[in-house]
């Protein structure tokens, strides 16, 4: 069977021949099968949007072939291309791209008018999508009256107008909070698993790849690798129709999945303060894998301590060790969500406090002067702030050497400098681990 979408030696340039020329797709060859849930994954600027525009015929490529069901869309006239875009592909944009002067239902009906449906028929069809996306109460509202999550659902409904077999989504979760993002992911997944539509999305956030079957990793206009994943079991059962027993099982699964997500989120807020959002999502993803037994303890520990660019959570080794040990105790005791919340509430500062105490000992090193309890307290606070990057190295040194009456730690400047240097070695060391390529 030939692929639904096939790219052959596709190159795309912007401003070709000019000084500011960009080679945004470099000899791209790929295939996407019918029914796939595929994603292009890579950092900002690597060419993901360019890729979607090439596949959907929004932009013409500089050279190469873009075959959809065996037809080369680069050979189509502008008018033929327009028809292909309106009926063959539904596009969900990151910025929603809704028309502000049209109501929700009119926005959804817009692409239908284009293919010649009467207004009445278009309204009817649009209303069906309104219901499907749970927008009944907003059908006659204007986009500005809706929340971001609701606007995105309108965007999805509009992409479904004319019933396209292929849905393309450009960073569909980019402007959504985590709850709405999860809902949008679920809708995409249903469209794929229940409706059998081919979904192609673009993202730079690893956590949004959870339901994806094929991942095209991208960098600098090149597909660097392709990963194929097994569709998960719950989805498979879903597709098979599902008896009541199965439905119940699925509902239970969904529930425990939900509480797993919550648990992982709590742990991430607990352990990952001061880290970037990307590192936090990577952390959550890794913990989810561990809790669902996809990876073992050693793999978790290793990945937590691996740099972000290499797929890890970017923790320094000691912390990775401690977090993974902590996760094991949760698994061992089969802690449920409530127990985890209790545990975290009982010792809100514990993980960081231990870490800080160790750093303090290291930092004080050969310091022979007296360290009063007050100094210990303020040192710990300072170290905590420094390792979370709440303060810079010079700020840290300044407060370390400021007199106690000014709320400093009151160390003589010379000793403070030595201590700060020792601490920076550790922090810098962890930085090297973050960016081994540099
Ligand atoms: P992504 O979606 O992965 O962030 P894009 O496909 O938007 O990346 O961009 C890929 C490269 O092409 C970037 O270097 C970007 O600056 C450049 N680019 C994108 N669109 C244009 C354009 N219309 N004109 C010139 N350069 C562009
Ligand atoms: Mg983009």
For 73-124, the pLDDT digits (tens) are: 999 988 888 888 888 899 998 777 888 889 999 999 988 877 778 888 899 9
Mean pLDDT of the chain: 82
pLDDT at 285 over 60: yes
pLDDT at 19 over 60: yes
Residue with tokens 């292929």: 166
Among 309, 275, 303, 277, residue whose Cα is nearest residue 288:
303
170's enclosing H/E stretch is: strand 166-170
CA of 13 to the centre of ligand 1 (A): 9
CB of 236 within 6 A of ligand 1: the answer is no
CB of 20 within 6 A of ligand 1: the answer is no
Percent of the chain that is helix, strand, coil (3-state, to 5): 55, 15, 30
Fold of 35-64+75-236: Rossmann fold (3.40.50)
Among 382, 267, 257, 258, residue whose Cα is nearest residue 315:
267
Predicted local distance difference test score (pLDDT) of residue 329: 80
> Counting ligands in written order, which one lies closest to the CA of residue 174?
2
Tokens standing for residue 158: 């509009």
Residue with tokens 């709440």: 390
Predicted local distance difference test score (pLDDT) of residue 431: 42
What is the arithmetic mean of pLDDT over 398-404?
86
61: pLDDT confidence band, cut at 50, 70 and 90?
Answer: very high
Residue with tokens 């600027």: 45
CA of 214 to the centre of ligand 1 (A): 23
Mutate to test the pocket of ligand 1, among 16, 49, 94, 205 (most ligand atoms within 8 A of CB): 49
For 202-243, the DSSP string reads EES-GGGGTT-SEEEEEETTEEEEEEE-PPPHHHHHHHT---
CB of 50 within 6 A of ligand 1: the answer is yes
> How far, in Å, CA of 234 to CA of 250, rounded?
7
pLDDT at 395 over 90: no
Shortest-distance atom of ligand 1 to CA 204: 3
CB of 48 within 6 A of ligand 1: the answer is yes
> How far, in Å, CA of 125 to CA of 116, rounded?
13
Q: Among 56-60, 198-202, 226-230, where is mean pLDDT lowest?
A: 226-230
If one counts every other C-beta atom within 10 angstroms of the C-beta of residue 56, the result is: 23
Shortest-distance atom of ligand 1 to CA 40: 3
Q: What is the maximum alpha-carbon separation in the chain? A: 87
What is the arithmetic mean of pLDDT over 356-374?
83
CA of 39 to the centre of ligand 2 (A): 13
Residue with tokens 């949007």: 49
**Three-class secondary structure of residue 23 per DSSP:** strand
pLDDT at 150 over 60: yes
Which protein residue's CA is at the shortest distance from atom 22 of ligand 1? 14
422: pLDDT confidence band, cut at 50, 70 and 90?
Answer: confident
CB of 168 within 6 A of ligand 1: the answer is no
pLDDT at 243 over 60: no
CB of 244 within 6 A of ligand 1: the answer is no
> How far, in Å, CA of 319 to CA of 220, rounded?
33
> How far, in Å, CA of 271 to CA of 282, rounded?
13
Residue with tokens 């937590």: 304
Among 128, 129, 127, 153, residue whose Cα is nearest residue 140:
127
pLDDT at 312 over 70: yes
User: Going by C-beta distance under 8 Å and a sequence separation of 6 or more, which residues neighbour residue 151?
Assistant: 96, 98, 143
* More confident of the two residues 26 and 313: 26
Shortest-distance atom of ligand 1 to CA 50: 6
């Amino acid at each position: 069977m030939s692929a639904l979408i096939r790219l052959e030696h596709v190159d795309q340039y912007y401003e070709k021949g000019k000084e500011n020329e960009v080679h945004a797709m470099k000899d791209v060859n790929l295939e996407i099968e019918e029914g796939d849930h595929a994603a292009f994954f890579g950092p900002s600027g690597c060419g993901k949007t360019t890729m979607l525009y090439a596949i959907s015929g929004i932009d013409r490529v500089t050279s190469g072939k873009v075959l959809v069901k065996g037809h080369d869309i680069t050979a189509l006239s502008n008018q033929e291309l327009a028809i292909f875009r309106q009926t063959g592909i539904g596009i969900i944009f990151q910025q929603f791209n809704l028309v502000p002067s049209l109501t929700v239902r009119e926005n959804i009906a817009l692409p239908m008018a284009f293919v010649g449906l009467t207004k009445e028929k278009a309204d009817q069809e649009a209303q069906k999508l309104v219901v499907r996306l749970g927008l009944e109460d907003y059908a006659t509202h204007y986009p500005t009256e809706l929340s971001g999550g609701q606007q995105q659902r309108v965007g999805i409904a509009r992409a479904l107008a004319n019933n396209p077999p292929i849905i393309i989504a450009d960073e569909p979760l980019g402007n959504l909070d985590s709850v709405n993002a999860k809902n949008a992911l679920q809708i995409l997944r249903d469209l794929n698993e229940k409706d059998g539509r081919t979904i192609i999305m673009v993202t730079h956030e690893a956590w949004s790849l959870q339901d994806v079957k094929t991942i095209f990793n991208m960098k600098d206009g090149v597909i660097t690798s392709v990963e194929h994943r097994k569709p998960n079991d719950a989805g498979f059962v879903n597709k098979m129709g599902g008896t009541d027993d199965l439905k119940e099982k699925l509902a239970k699964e969904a529930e425990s999945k939900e509480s797993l997500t919550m648990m992982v989120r709590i742990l991430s807020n607990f352990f990952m303060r001061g880290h970037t959002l990307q590192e936090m999502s990577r952390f959550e993803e890794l913990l989810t894998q561990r809790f669902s037994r996809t990876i073992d303890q050693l793999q978790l520990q290793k990945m937590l301590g691996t740099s972000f660019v290499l797929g890890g959570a970017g923790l320094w080794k000691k912390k990775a060790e401690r977090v993974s040990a902590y996760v094991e105790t949760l698994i061992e005791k089969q802690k449920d969500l409530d127990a985890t919340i209790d545990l975290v509430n009982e010792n809100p500062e514990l993980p960081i406090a231990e870490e800080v105490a160790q750093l303090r000992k290291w930092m004080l090193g050969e310091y022979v002067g007296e360290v009063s309890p007050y100094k210990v307290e303020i040192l710990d606070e300072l170290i905590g702030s420094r390792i979370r990057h709440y303060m810079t190295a010079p700020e840290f040194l300044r407060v370390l050497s400021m007199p106690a009456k000014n709320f400093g730690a009151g160390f003589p400047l010379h000793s403070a400098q030595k201590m700060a240097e020792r601490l920076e070695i550790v922090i810098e060391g962890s930085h090297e681990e973050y960016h081994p390529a540099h």
